[in-house]
């Protein structure tokens, strides 16, 4: 359940991270694309304005050129020269000589006058920044044009009529050309040039960008349909989204791993408890003289989901310090009792030992919970041994002794583990009142080489006899050690010489073979007697 919940939160975390990155990526990509689009549109309005200014410059240059040639009049030869100027400049449509009020005196192409819709009065014309020119709109029946006026003397002025047409304004990129209009207006708002492939009314939802000239009273505007803009230069969108998705996934996965790590090993223990991943392994204890199996010690193993088995020293200390040792101990004991139930029922002398840390032994309700579990498993208390290590100091010896007394009264047996290497002196061994002394592997290792090890083991055996305790030697690996231990008076052992700790199925097999062997041995002995 917890595991499934963990999966759900992990998936949710990855999904949330993905969503956040994709959303962020969407807005970032849009912002980048929009910034790029508006930069390009501003550049285009700049182009439109520069071209318009150049058209005005050409017009002004033409008028300068004519004014420079001397006094102007309307005789055919002069008009011929003027027409040549018009011919040479593509944007200049006509040149006129006008009086102070702006009334036309004569024109290069007098026919064009017929197209005019009347001329603007001088006060309504707009002055260029250098004050040399006046700009105004020329209304024509077929459209609009830009008029540029330059004074020649007190009475006369020259006017160039400029066509601001597609040549100047057809600047839009192909994707936008059908969906945009380019406008040139005087600063008083009157339109003097326009380019688009459709009529203004045919456009919908336009985005508008403008640019103002600092030399002439002109400004250029580009209007683009929003729908066309949304399709323009959007190539960056999907690659950006792809990158955002990958980043979102990577970030989400890293996040789950980091939080899992932050949750830490204690959360791992909790999950393992919930999944019952802590398993009892069983190591036999045996009669040192006959090798007959007398019982077993239950040793915890963490069998992880991936099949890796973790030894107890890698998790017992943390379980102890984080307060998980109690549920872990009960879980392992209950499982061990269940596994071993048939064997315990069959052989009333078979004993099962399990390890309890001092803190747990001293905790409230320990005895009651132990009874409840053992009773629940229908196992006799006489077959259960509680091993208490004396590796670390027993915090409250008096209380520990009281608990041990209570346990013994209920029929349980108590073993003092790791004797000889821990904190307790002989008085503590006496004081606790246990039934069994387990001699630490350290002495068994050295018993074949070191006389002082022999002396200590002999001393412990004597003490045990005095106190009516039994002795078990731990970590027996060789026949030499067996002989040396027997010589010291030790009767029982535990160690790799018979078997390492085994998972239940293997341990059960071991019991089975040793039983049939013992049966065979007994049968042979009996046969020998009869003979
Ligand atoms: P321990 O109670 O002294 O258990 C005996 C340890 O010696 C076991 O190590 C066992 O595998 C190892 N051993 C037995 N015979 C031999 C041998 O011939 N040679 C060698 N080299 N080693 C041998 P393990 O299983 O790794 O357990 C280590 C310690 O972890 C135990 O020492 C015990 O203090 C603790 N432990 C194990 N299971 C539990 C548990 O369920 N609860 C608590 N509180 N502690 C546990
Ligand atoms: Ca032990
Ligand atoms: Ca031990």
Q: So what's the pLDDT on residue 3?
A: 61
Q: Supply the DSSP string of 397-438, one letter for each residue.
A: HHHHHHHHHHHHHTT-EEEEEEETTSS--HHHHHHHT-SEEE
Q: Pick 309 or 34 by higher pLDDT.
A: 309
| DSSP 8-state code for residue 491 | -
Nearest to 227 by CA among 212, 245, 210, 206: 206
Question: Ligand 1 atom 10: the closest Cα is on which residue?
Answer: 501
**Ligand 2 midpoint to CA 489 (Å):** 21
pLDDT band at 394 (very low <50, low <70, confident <90, very high): confident
**Ligand 2 midpoint to CA 356 (Å):** 8
pLDDT band at 424 (very low <50, low <70, confident <90, very high): low
pLDDT digits (tens, 9 = 90+) for 115-142: 676 678 888 899 999 999 999 998 887 7
pLDDT digits (tens, 9 = 90+) for 455-465: 999 999 999 99
Task: Give yes or no for residue 495 CB within 6 A of ligand 1.
Answer: yes
Tell me the pairing of strands 413-419 and 436-439. Answer: parallel
pLDDT band at 149 (very low <50, low <70, confident <90, very high): very high
Question: Ligand 1 atom 3: the closest Cα is on which residue?
Answer: 418
Nearest to 40 by CA among 175, 197, 147: 175
Task: Give yes or no for residue 501 CB within 6 A of ligand 1.
Answer: yes
Task: Give yes or no for residue 311 CB within 6 A of ligand 1.
Answer: yes
Average pLDDT over residues 299-319: 95
Nearest to 407 by CA among 389, 438, 385, 430: 385
Question: Ligand 1 atom 35: the closest Cα is on which residue?
Answer: 312
Q: So what's the pLDDT on residue 29?
A: 86
| pLDDT of residue 258 exceeding 60 | yes
CA distances for 489 relative to 110, 406, 484, angstroms: 142, 30, 9
76-88 vs 2-68: helix crossing angle, rounded to 10:
160
Question: Ligand 1 atom 37: the closest Cα is on which residue?
Answer: 299
Round to whole Å and give the CA distance between 414 and 361.
11
What atom in ligand 1 is closest to the CA of residue 299?
A: 38
Round to whole Å and give the CA distance between 432 and 170.
104
Backbone angles phi, psi at 190, to 5 degrees: -85, 135
Least confident segment among 43-57, 74-88, 123-137, 212-226: 74-88
pLDDT digits (tens, 9 = 90+) for 182-224: 888 999 988 888 888 888 788 888 888 888 999 999 999 999 8
| pLDDT of residue 313 exceeding 80 | yes
Kindly identify the ligand whose nearest atom is closest to the C-alpha of 356.
Answer: 1
Pick the CATH number of 265-501 from 2.40.50.100, 3.20.20.450, 3.40.605.10, 2.40.50.140: 3.20.20.450
Task: Give yes or no for residue 44 CB within 6 A of ligand 1.
Answer: no
Average pLDDT over residues 20-42: 86
Q: For the chain, what percent of residues have pLDDT higher than 90?
A: 53
Task: Give yes or no for residue 419 CB within 6 A of ligand 1.
Answer: no
Q: So what's the pLDDT on residue 277?
A: 97
Task: Give yes or no for residue 300 CB within 6 A of ligand 1.
Answer: yes
Average pLDDT over residues 267-277: 95
Round to whole Å and give the CA distance between 136 and 191.
10
Round to whole Å and give the CA distance between 102 and 157.
8
Highest mean pLDDT: which of 48-57, 213-222, 280-289? Answer: 280-289
Highest mean pLDDT: which of 49-63, 137-151, 226-240, 359-373? Answer: 359-373
Question: Ligand 1 atom 20: the closest Cα is on which residue?
Answer: 475
Q: Pick 201 or 330 by higher pLDDT.
A: 330
Q: So what's the pLDDT on residue 240?
A: 86
Backbone angles phi, psi at 223, to 5 degrees: -120, 130
Ligand 1 pocket: which of 312, 391, 417, 441 to mutate (most atoms within 8 A of CB): 312
| pLDDT of residue 2 exceeding 60 | no
Torsion of CA 252, 256, 261, 262, to 10 degrees: 90
The mean pLDDT value of the chain amounts to 89
Q: Which two tokens stand for residue 39?
A: 């930069």
Round to whole Å and give the CA distance between 12 and 16.
6
What atom in ligand 1 is closest to the CA of residue 313?
A: 30
| pLDDT of residue 341 exceeding 90 | yes
325-346 vs 504-530: helix crossing angle, rounded to 10:
30
Q: So what's the pLDDT on residue 167?
A: 65
Average pLDDT over residues 506-519: 90
Q: So what's the pLDDT on residue 83?
A: 87
Q: So what's the pLDDT on residue 494?
A: 98
Average pLDDT over residues 138-160: 88
Kindly identify the ligand whose nearest atom is closest to the C-alpha of 497.
Answer: 1
Alpha carbon 206 to its chain centroid, in Å, reads: 42
- Please tell me the number of Cα atoms within 13 Å of 430 on its side-chain side: 6
Sorted by where each begins, the domain ranges of the chain are: 13-262, 265-501
Q: Pick 84 or 323 by higher pLDDT.
A: 323
pLDDT band at 289 (very low <50, low <70, confident <90, very high): very high
**Ligand 3 midpoint to CA 513 (Å):** 26
Q: So what's the pLDDT on residue 202?
A: 84
Ligand 1 pocket: which of 277, 336, 355 to mutate (most atoms within 8 A of CB): 355
Q: Which two tokens stand for residue 362?
A: 């001293």
Task: Give yes or no for residue 79 CB within 6 A of ligand 1.
Answer: no
| pLDDT of residue 520 exceeding 80 | no
Round to whole Å and give the CA distance between 183 and 169.
8
| pLDDT of residue 410 exceeding 80 | yes
- What are the E-state strand segments in 101-142? 104-107, 126-127, 133-140
Residue 356 parent element (H or E): strand 351-356
- Please answer whether residues 108 and 86 qualify as being in contact, where contact means their C-beta atoms are separated by less than 8 angstroms: yes
Q: For the chain, what percent of residues have pLDDT higher than 70?
A: 96
Task: Give yes or no for residue 355 CB within 6 A of ligand 1.
Answer: yes
**Ligand 1 midpoint to CA 501 (Å):** 8
What atom in ligand 1 is closest to the CA of residue 332?
A: 41
Region of 468 please: left (phi>0), alpha (psi -120 to 50) or beta.
Answer: left
Task: Give yes or no for residue 417 CB within 6 A of ligand 1.
Answer: yes
Confidence (pTM) = 0.59
Round to whole Å and give the CA distance between 465 and 443.
19
Q: Which two tokens stand for residue 97?
A: 């000589």
Task: Give yes or no for residue 390 CB within 6 A of ligand 1.
Answer: no
**Ligand 3 midpoint to CA 331 (Å):** 21
What atom in ligand 1 is closest to the CA of residue 311?
A: 26
Kindly identify the ligand whose nearest atom is closest to the C-alpha of 353.
Answer: 2
Round to whole Å and give the CA distance between 372 and 377.
9
Q: Pick 130 or 4 by higher pLDDT.
A: 130
**Ligand 1 midpoint to CA 475 (Å):** 9
CA distances for 230 relative to 44, 179, 205, 248, 517, angstroms: 17, 12, 12, 25, 88
Q: So what's the pLDDT on residue 100?
A: 81
Q: Pick 479 or 241 by higher pLDDT.
A: 479
Core vs surface per residue 332-344: b (16+ CB within 10 A) or e: bbbbbbebbeebb
Kindly identify the ligand whose nearest atom is closest to the C-alpha of 299.
Answer: 1
What atom in ligand 1 is closest to the CA of residue 320?
A: 44
Average pLDDT over residues 401-429: 88
Task: Give yes or no for residue 477 CB within 6 A of ligand 1.
Answer: yes
Task: Give yes or no for residue 420 CB within 6 A of ligand 1.
Answer: no
**Ligand 1 midpoint to CA 298 (Å):** 9
Average pLDDT over residues 335-355: 97
Q: Which two tokens stand for residue 330?
A: 């009960």
Q: Pick 142 or 384 by higher pLDDT.
A: 384
Task: Give yes or no for residue 87 CB within 6 A of ligand 1.
Answer: no
What atom in ligand 1 is closest to the CA of residue 319?
A: 44
What atom in ligand 1 is closest to the CA of residue 438?
A: 3
Q: So what's the pLDDT on residue 41?
A: 84
Least confident segment among 12-26, 251-265, 329-343, 374-388: 251-265
């Amino acid at each position: 359940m917890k595991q499934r919940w963990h999966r759900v939160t992990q998936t949710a975390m990855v999904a949330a991270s993905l969503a956040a990155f994709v959303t962020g990526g969407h807005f970032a990509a849009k912002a980048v694309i929009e910034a790029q689009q508006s930069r390009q549109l501003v550049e285009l309005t700049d182009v439109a304005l520069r071209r318009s200014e150049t058209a005005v410059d050409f017009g002004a240059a033409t008028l300068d050129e004519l004014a420079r040639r001397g006094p102007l009049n309307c005789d055919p030869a002069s008009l011929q020269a003027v027409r040549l100027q018009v011919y040479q400049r593509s944007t200049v449509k006509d040149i006129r000589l006008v009086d102070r009020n702006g009334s036309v005196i004569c024109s290069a192409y007098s026919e064009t006058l017929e197209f005019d819709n009347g001329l603007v009065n001088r006060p309504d014309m707009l002055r260029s920044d250098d004050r040399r020119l006046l700009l105004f709109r020329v209304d024509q029946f077929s459209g609009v044009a830009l008029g540029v006026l330059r004074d020649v003397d007190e009475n006369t002025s020259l006017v160039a009529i400029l066509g601001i047409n597609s040549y100047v304004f057809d600047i839009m990129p192909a994707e936008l050309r059908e969906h945009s209009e380019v406008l040139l207006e005087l600063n008083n708002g009157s339109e003097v040039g326009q380019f688009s492939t459709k009529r203004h009314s045919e456009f919908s939802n336009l985005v508008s960008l403008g640019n103002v000239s600092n030399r002439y009273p002109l400004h250029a505007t580009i209007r683009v349909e929003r729908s066309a803009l949304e399709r323009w230069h959007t190539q960056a969108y999907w690659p950006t989204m792809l990158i955002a998705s990958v980043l979102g996934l990577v970030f989400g996965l890293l996040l789950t791993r980091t939080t899992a790590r932050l949750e830490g090993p204690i959360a791992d223990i909790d999950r393992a408890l919930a999944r019952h991943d802590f398993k009892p392994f069983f190591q036999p204890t045996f009669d040192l003289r006959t090798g007959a199996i007398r019982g077993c010690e239950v040793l915890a193993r963490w069998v992880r989901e991936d099949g890796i088995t973790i030894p107890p020293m890698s998790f017992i200390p943390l379980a102890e310090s984080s307060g998980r040792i109690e549920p872990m101990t009960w879980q392992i004991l209950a499982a061990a009792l269940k596994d071993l139930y048939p064997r315990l029922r069959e052989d009333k002398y078979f004993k099962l030992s399990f390890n309890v840390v001092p803190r747990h032994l001293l905790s409230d309700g320990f005895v009651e919970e132990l009874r409840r579990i053992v009773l629940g498993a229908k196992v006799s208390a006489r077959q259960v041994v509680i091993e208490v290590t004396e590796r670390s100091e027993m915090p409250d010896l008096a209380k520990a002794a009281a608990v041990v007394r209570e346990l013994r009264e209920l029929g349980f047996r108590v073993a003092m583990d790791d004797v000889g290497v821990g904190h307790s002196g002989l008085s503590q061994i006496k004081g606790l009142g246990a039934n069994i002394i387990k001699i630490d592997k350290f002495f068994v290792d050295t018993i074949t080489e070191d006389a002082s090890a022999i002396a200590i083991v002999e001393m412990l055996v004597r003490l045990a006899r005095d106190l009516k305790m039994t002795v078990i030697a731990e970590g027996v690996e060789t026949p030499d050690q067996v002989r040396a231990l027997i010589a010291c008076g030790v009767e029982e052992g535990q160690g790799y010489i018979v078997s390492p700790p085994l998972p239940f199925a293997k341990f059960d097999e071991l019991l089975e073979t040793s039983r049939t062997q013992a049966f065979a041995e007994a049968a042979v002995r009996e046969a020998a007697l009869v003979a």
